[in-house]
Amino acid sequence: MEEAVFPYKIRMAYKEEWEDAMSLAWKTFLRFEAQDYGAEGVKSFEDFITDHTLYRMFLMGVYQMFVAFYGDTMVGLISLRSDSHISLLFVDADHHRQGVGRALIDRLCEYLRTEMGISRVTVNASPYGVGFYHRLGFTDLGQEQVADGIRYTPMELQL
């Protein structure tokens, strides 16, 4: 039996891809997560992904982002802040359950271990993402919390 080939390419994002990545995050957030938040949470998320300071941090290399492509189309992203905290993880709806999210996490963890010498990654998982993170081995650091209308469960993964 022949092994299936993973058709996605994952790499660090280029500066020209920022807008596409944030558009993908916004579109996916609205479809899968916004219903878990009130108006304050939706506005907080929108403010976060449109913040020019965040974009400047990305340009300076302080806020790293990996992207997943299917051919020439961006279908996923994962970003990192504070050296070891997953800030955003989104996969286009048409590519859910294809291994893209797992591959983005794997690539990020490889980067943290080999390039940064870091042995632990954290995330504030949205209600929609909790089960996904648990399947990848993340453990809860506490109960669900709310900040600026955003519900999340703090989690970690030992690398």
Q: Which fold has domain 8-158?
A: Aminopeptidase (3.40.630)
Average pLDDT taken over every residue of the chain: 94
Segment 138-154 mean pLDDT: 96
Residue type, 110: E
pLDDT digits (tens, 9 = 90+) for 54-79: 999 999 999 999 999 999 999 999 99
pLDDT digits (tens, 9 = 90+) for 38-56: 999 999 999 999 999 999 9
Whether the predicted pLDDT of 154 surpasses 80: yes
Residue 90: strand, helix, or coil? strand
The pLDDT of residue 83: 86
Whether the predicted pLDDT of 6 surpasses 90: no
Whether the predicted pLDDT of 4 surpasses 70: no
φ, ψ at 122 (rounded to 5°): -120, 165
Whether the CB-CB separation of 68 and 9 falls below 8 Å is answered with: yes
Q: What does the domain layout of the chain look like in residue ranges? A: 8-158
Distance CA 45, CA 139 (A): 24
Whether the predicted pLDDT of 3 surpasses 70: no
